[in-house]
Amino acid sequence: MTDAALPANLRTMRRFDWASDMNARRIRRRYAANRRLQAYGLLAIGLAVGLLGILISSIIVSGYSSFFQTKAEVEVYLDPAQIDANNLADANYRQIFNKALERYFPEVTSPTERRQLSDIFSSESRYAVRNYVASNPEQIGQTIKLSVPLSDPFDQAEKGVIPRYVEALTDSERARFEFLAGRGLIQGSGADATLKLNLFIDPQKVGADPATGNYADIIADGLLAVVRVSDYVTRSLPILRDDATRVLQAHVVANPDTVGKVIENFRFPLSPNYAKLASGETPMTLNQRFASEKQFEWLDRLKSQGLIGMPFAYELFLNADSRFPELAGLAGAIVGSIYVLVVCFVISVPLGIAAAVYLEEFAPKNRWTDLIEVNINNLAAVPSVVFGLLGVAVFINFFGMPRSAPLVGGLVIALMMLPTIIIATRAALKAVPPSIREAALGVGASRHQVMMHHVLPLAMPGIMTGVIIGLANAVGETAPLLLIGMNAFIPSIDNIGLLEPATVLPTQIFSWADSPERGFVARTSAGILVLLAFLVLMNALAIYLRQRFERKW
């Protein structure tokens, strides 16, 4: 092809030099952009997966300790003088338990110490004694071994969740000390550590008699001249030893001529915590959750006798809710969840499958069925909390059903699940090839017979997979159940019924997450782990069903 054959506009265009440096740079740039996009993609995936990892691992880390419970093996003498075999309910089991503790710690006699001792153990230890006696009345008069849970702070301390001792000084207190030390005002270490201050002995503050002057104010003023902190902190003089004012007073009384003058470099002894800081140690103090260091002494003595253990906490699954974290369990919530799920299953699965079969196979195409279809698609996207409002307004207010009842919860969740089940069933029905239908129709089956005898059985595995995944979502549903009051406090699983107040796993988790005690944090995480395990099981079942029964046509 010659130049003359090209159109005029191309003839005048400069030839592009593909081998030029500029082009090489351009290609490098384009490839770099490609790699960059790829890297962003990988980064995004890493973030998503990493966040999932943090989510799961943080809950495992905080929750696994709840699957174990620190317990003490205590020998209890079931004194026949205290327990009347004919009237078991009236015995003073607290006293019996405290008597048992006395045998281990005979030196503990004062009422305060006794209370501190019994605080180590769960406050419901007496019920443990009572329950034992109730189920073994023939043991009265014997000495039995009883395993009682420790109370929450000690349980958490044994697990290492909370420390026995914490740093005595706050960050700002330490910073203030560092500031003084940086000025060279702190000297010596250990018990000899001192703070030197210039003090103006204000005659007005000393007053007429040096023995009764307001020396605390004088020291505070001296301190204020060096550190600018709030009056309140300075006046309480936490950095100085308790007798600081008396030291100054003694000095002024001994040297009355100092009144009205400035004493330079007066040395005050430091309070013990700051003295430790001056010698490079970290001052520690007992964690506020514990009443006394003796409690640890007693606990450690029991431990050295091998009486303290940390067995698997069956109570987590056997106990119902409790105000005490060490006794709270999931049994009530699990039973409630099962009730709600059963109600939901019984209502939503037949309804959903029937509706889907009608819409997919029998419904004529007209405005009505279009409306139903649009409606179902939109219903699937309605926020769950709106279903809760429906439950409150219709089931509880209008029909007068009881609040917090699993029946109402199941109904609300069933209505919520209905679109999901209908959509899943329709997809499964669509997947059955037309040849099956045509063959059945060809041998003379009615449309209902085709459906019931051929299509539905073939679609069943797909339907069940959809149903199980839908149910798995229903197990974790919280907001609508919260609105109808299913966060009830259920301390016993004895009278849970369809119309009795109940709670479910997710709302139990929500209530525990709201509780202030430290032990409930671990309990909440443990509840979440149980819930997640439940979900994993259900999803695994769905995947198994799909792989085992799914047919490729």
Contacts with another protein in 357-396 (CB under 8 A)?
357-359, 362-363, 371-372, 375-379, 381-390, 392-394, 396
**Please, what is the minimum distance in Å from the beta carbon of residue 178 to another protein?**
18
Query: Residue with structure tokens 């037949």?
Result: 350
Q: Supply the minimum distance, in Å, between the C-beta of residue 436 and another protein.
A: 19
Q: Which of residues 54-83 bind another protein (CB under 8 A)?
A: 54-55, 58-59, 62
Q: In the complex with another protein, which residue's Cβ is closer, 49 or 166? A: 49
* Strand 186-187 with 194-200, pairing: antiparallel
Residue 41 touches another protein, criterion: CB under 8 A: yes
Q: Which is nearer to another protein, 352 or 461 (CB)?
A: 352
Of 41-49, 68-76, 192-200, 431-439, the window that binds another protein (rule: CB under 8 A) is: 41-49
Joined together, the tokens standing for residue 82 give 């205290």
Instruction: Tell me: does residue 532 bind another protein (CB under 8 A).
Output: yes
Does residue 428 come out as left (phi exceeding 0), alpha (psi in the -120 to 50 range) or beta? Answer: alpha
Residue with tokens 């419904």, as numbered in its chain: 363
Closer to another protein at the Cβ: 42 or 166?
A: 42
Q: Does 399 bind another protein (CB under 8 A)?
A: yes
**What is the distance between the alpha carbons of residues 27 and 167, in angstroms, rounded to a whole number?**
61
Q: How many CA atoms lie within 13 A of 520 on its CB side?
A: 15
Asked whether position 38 contacts another protein by CB under 8 A, the answer is yes
Shortest reach from residue 91's CB to another protein, in Å: 28
Q: Give 16 or 86: the residue with its C-beta nearer to another protein.
A: 16
Nearer to another protein, 38 or 255 (CB): 38
| 540 lies in the site for another protein, by CB under 8 A | no
124-163 residues in contact with another protein (CB under 8 A) are: none
* Alpha-helical segments (H) within 187-324: 203-206, 215-226, 231-235, 244-254, 272-278, 293-304, 315-318
β-strands 71-77, 165-167 pairing:
unpaired
101, 108, 223, 475: which one contacts another protein (CB under 8 A)? Answer: 475
* CB 300, min distance to another protein, A: 31
489: helix, coil or strand?
Answer: coil
Using rule CB under 8 A, residue 336 touches another protein: no
Minimum distance from CB of 550 to another protein (Å)?
16
Amino acid at 131: N
Contact 497, 332 (CB under 8 A): no
Stretch that binds another protein, among 102-110, 332-340, 351-359, 488-496 (CB under 8 A): 351-359
Applying CB under 8 A, does 191 fall inside the site for another protein? no
409-427 in b/e form (b: 16+ CB < 10 A) is bbbbbbbbbbbbbbbbbbe
- 476 is a contact residue toward another protein (CB under 8 A): yes
Would you say 194 or 507 has its CB closer to another protein?
A: 507
Query: In the set 26, 30, 115, 246, which binds another protein (CB under 8 A)?
Result: 30
**Shortest separation between residue 244's beta carbon and another protein, angstroms:** 33
- If one asks whether residue 339 binds another protein (CB under 8 A), the answer comes out as no
SS3 309: strand
First-to-final CA distance of the chain: 56
* Rounded Cα distance, 141 and 81, in Å: 9
Does 478 sit near another protein (CB under 8 A)? yes
Q: How far is the CB of 16 from another protein (least distance, A)?
A: 12
Query: Up-side HSE of residue 33: CA atoms within 13 Å toward CB?
Result: 5
- Name which position in 106, 111, 160, 400 contacts another protein (CB under 8 A): 400
Please state the closest distance from residue 514 (CB atom) to another protein, in A.
8
Among 6, 24, 44, 134, binds another protein (CB under 8 A): 44
CB of 467 to another protein, least distance (A): 15
Q: Are 191 and 165 in contact (CB under 8 A)?
A: no
Task: Copy the structure tokens of residue 472.
Answer: 């798995």
Minimum distance from CB of 21 to another protein (Å)?
A: 19
Q: Please tell me whether residue 322 binds another protein under the rule CB under 8 A.
A: no
Residues 275-304 that bind another protein (CB under 8 A): none
CB 161 within 8 A of CB 155: no
Look at residue 546 and give its three-state secondary structure. helix
Residues 509-528 that bind another protein (CB under 8 A): 509-510, 513, 521, 524-525, 528
Among the listed residues 36, 183, 453, 551, the single contact to another protein using CB under 8 A: 36
Most distant pair of Cα atoms in the chain: their distance: 126
CB of 540 to another protein, least distance (A): 12
For the CB of residue 523, give the shortest distance to another protein in the complex, in Å: 11
Q: Is the dihedral of CA 501, 504, 510, 512 positive or negative?
A: positive
The token pair at 374 is: 């649009």
CB of 193 or CB of 474, closer to another protein: 474
| Number of neighbours of residue 127 by Cβ within 10 angstroms | 16
Q: At closest approach, how far in Å is the CB of 492 from another protein?
A: 17
Integer Cα distance of 263 and 200 in angstroms: 6
Please give the torsion angle defined by the CA atoms of residues 209, 212, 216 and 218, in that order, rounded to the nearest 10 degrees: 0
Q: How far is the CB of 551 from another protein (least distance, A)?
A: 21
What residues from 480 to 499 belong to the interface with another protein (CB under 8 A)? 482-483, 485, 487
Question: Which amino acid would we find at residue 38?
Answer: Q
Q: Show the binding pattern over residues 409-438: x = contacts another protein (CB under 8 A), - = does not.
A: ------x--xx--x----------------
SS (H, E, C) 44-88: HHHHHHHHHHHHHHHHHHHHHHHHECCEEEEEEECCCCCCECCEH
